[in-house]
Amino acid sequence: MERSGVPTDGPLSNTSTRAGLLARVRSLPLFKLTAIWEAFRVATASLRSNKLRTLLTLTGIVVGVTAVIAVVTIIKGLDKTVAQTFSSQGSTVFTISKNPQIIKSREDFIKFNRRKDVTHEDAGTIRRLCTECWRVGIAANAVEEVKHADQKAESVRIRGVDPITMFDIDGVSIDAGRIWTEGEGDSGRDICVVGPDILKNLFNDASADRALGEEIRVGGRPYTIIGVLEPLGSIFGFSRDNVVYIPYSTYQKAYGARRSLVVFIQVPDADQLEPAEDQVRTIMHNRRGHTQDDPDDEGFSLETQDVFLNLYGSATSNIYIVTIGVAAVSLVVGGIVVMNIMLVSVTERTKEIGIRKAIGARKKDILTQFLIEAVTVTAIGGAVGVGTGFGLAYVISALIGFPLLISVTSAVLGVGVSSIVGIVSGLWPAWRASKLDPIEALRAE
């Protein structure tokens, strides 16, 4: 029913109604903000008055977000390290070897051991026949104890290489001194080029020049240092500078000729990798035929650095999946905790809801208030989780030694996802609060 045409209650009420209406209309766009700000104030006040409860409520959300942020940050840091490491050797290199770099099972191990060794002759044939190949070199590794005077270093990688272009294929360069000449290399002289870790461990971090001409003992054999390499840094905490390069012919004298070696082939450009691989595969097929007892086996392994990258990629994607699982579980549990606490809070504050309704709060005002309270809890939890996640990643990155990449996206995502958890878990308690009958609610104590 509308107001009947007769002028009603006198001038006073007429103007006051109109003023009320005017005020209402004028403040319409403001209303939402005002109500939300009020809801936010109420939310923070009620969270502050129940500090322990708030803390416990936050925990689930914090744990979930911390896990995701830490893992994402760590893996991003590792990704960068890995990308840098492999780009130094580049995607222009592939290898021929007896055993692949990654052996997945015992059966494979047995199978690969039945293969013929990859020899100096294999490398020579490839060098001769492969027209697409740019550099071809051979390398064999051993691990030894290295001594100088009374200092010693354990587990040093001894790398016998030929020819000297293997330094280029490996992506290492000379910092001081020189590489051996071809003549020195072929004649099997006891000379070596060492990585910077050798200086650090055996020469008390002396300057490179001081080590040149010094003699070190590798597995009992003396070698003269003629060059020092530029540092490469470490990956996953393992130094790549703890190495001694010696000529392959010297390596053969020390460790025998019967060890299988690895042929490294480099092409000038990544585009030429595939034709070069095809050529080398054909050459090797002609030389090998098949492994005895196993017609399906090629008899050799042709690999690029992609093997590592693929393994790394699948390992990290598994870690991602597990972490997302952990995070999802703890966010669900956290959400249930928040819902429970919100239900308790609604019950405790029934009277307050009654008062608010009596003085004019509508359903949506009460709904908004409790929703904002739930979202405030979870968003704070999310923010704390982002902080502790980055903190954890920082500690781990400092321990292992990889760069810390703080991603704004993951921070925003962490807070965003936990806010959504807040909305979802706050919805039902808030709806219950908004449905309360004001008379009943006012009667509550």
Partner 1 sequence: MSSNVTVASPVENMIQAKTEVTGNDPKSLISMRNIWKTYQMGTEKVHALHGVSFDIPRGEYIAIIGPSGSGKSTLMNLIGCLDTPSEGEYWLNSKNVSEMDDDELARIRNQEVGFVFQTFNLLARATALHNVELPLIYGGVGSSQRHDMAKKALAAVDLTERMLHKPNELSGGQRQRVAIARALVNHPSILLADEPTGALDTHTSMEIMDLFERLHEQGNTIIIVTHEPDIAARAHRVISIRDGQIEKDDRIR
Q: Which of 132, 190, 297, 365 binds partner 1 (CB under 8 A)?
A: 365
CA-based nearest residue to 39, from 379, 373, 425:
373
Closer residue to partner 1 in complex, CB, 44/234: 44
Structure tokens at 370: 């409790």
Structure tokens at 50: 């129940």
HSE toward the beta carbon, residue 56, CA cutoff 13 A:
9
Closest CB to partner 1 among 328 and 439?
439
67 CB neighbour count, 10 Å cutoff: 23
Shortest distance (Å) from residue 29 CB to partner 1: 9
d(CA 120, CA 126): 10
In this structure, the strands spanning 243-247 and 151-162 are: parallel
φ/ψ of 405, rounded to 5, equals -110, 110
**Per rule CB under 8 A, is residue 51 in the interface with partner 1?**
no
3-class SS of residue 171 = coil
Q: Which of 68, 75, 179, 361 binds partner 1 (CB under 8 A)?
A: 361
DSSP secondary structure of 204-230: TT--HHHHTT-EEEETTEEEEEEEEEP
2-10, 202-210, 233-241, 407-415 -> range binding partner 1 (CB under 8 A) = 2-10
- The yes or no reply on residue 10 touching partner 1 (CB under 8 A) is yes
Minimum Å gap between C-beta 53 and partner 1 is 15
Q: How far apart are CA 385 and CA 392, in angstroms?
A: 10
Per CB under 8 A, which region of 79-87, 228-236, 248-256, 349-357 contacts partner 1? 349-357
Number of residues that bind partner 1 (CB under 8 A): 42
Interatomic CA distance for residues 425 and 414, integer angstroms: 17
Q: Which pairs with CB-CB distance under 8 Å and at least 24 residues apart come from 201-204?
A: 201/151, 201/153, 201/242, 202/146, 202/147, 202/148, 202/149, 202/151, 202/152, 202/153, 203/148, 203/151, 204/151
Q: How far is the CB of 360 from partner 1 (least distance, A)?
A: 2
Contact with partner 1 (CB under 8 A) among 22, 45, 55, 257:
45
Q: How far is the CB of 236 from partner 1 (least distance, A)?
A: 53
CB 441 to partner 1: min, Å: 10
* Residues 85-124, mask of contacts with partner 1 (x by CB under 8 A): ----------------------------------------
C-alpha to C-alpha distance for 338 and 428, rounded to whole angstroms: 11
For partner 1, the binding residues in 14-43 under the rule CB under 8 A are 16-17, 20, 23-24, 26-28, 30-31, 34-35, 38
DSSP 92: T
Q: How far is the CB of 438 from partner 1 (least distance, A)?
A: 5
The distance of closest approach from Cβ of residue 77 to partner 1 in the complex, given in angstroms and rounded to an integer, is: 45
Does 285 contact partner 1 by CB under 8 A?
no
Shortest CB 4 distance to partner 1, Å: 6
Work out which of 257, 351, 398, 407 binds partner 1, going by CB under 8 A.
351
Which one of 56, 206, 311, 439 is in contact with partner 1 (CB under 8 A)? Answer: 439
Among 174, 343, 405, 442, binds partner 1 (CB under 8 A): 442
Contact stretch for partner 1 (CB under 8 A) within 44-52, 167-175, 179-187, 300-308: 44-52
Residue with tokens 């002759």: 121
Residue environment code for 397-418, b if the CB has 16+ CB neighbours within 10 A, otherwise e: beebbbebbeeeebbebbbebb
- In the chain, DSSP finds a helix count (H) and a strand count (E) of 16, 12
- Shortest gap between Cβ of 11 and partner 1 (angstroms)? 12
Pairing of strands 215-218, 221-229: antiparallel
Candidate list 98, 159, 240, 357; residue touching partner 1; CB under 8 A: 357
* Contacting positions for partner 1 (CB under 8 A): 1, 3-4, 6, 8-10, 12-13, 16-17, 20, 23-24, 26-28, 30-31, 34-35, 38, 45-46, 49, 351-352, 354-365, 438-439, 442
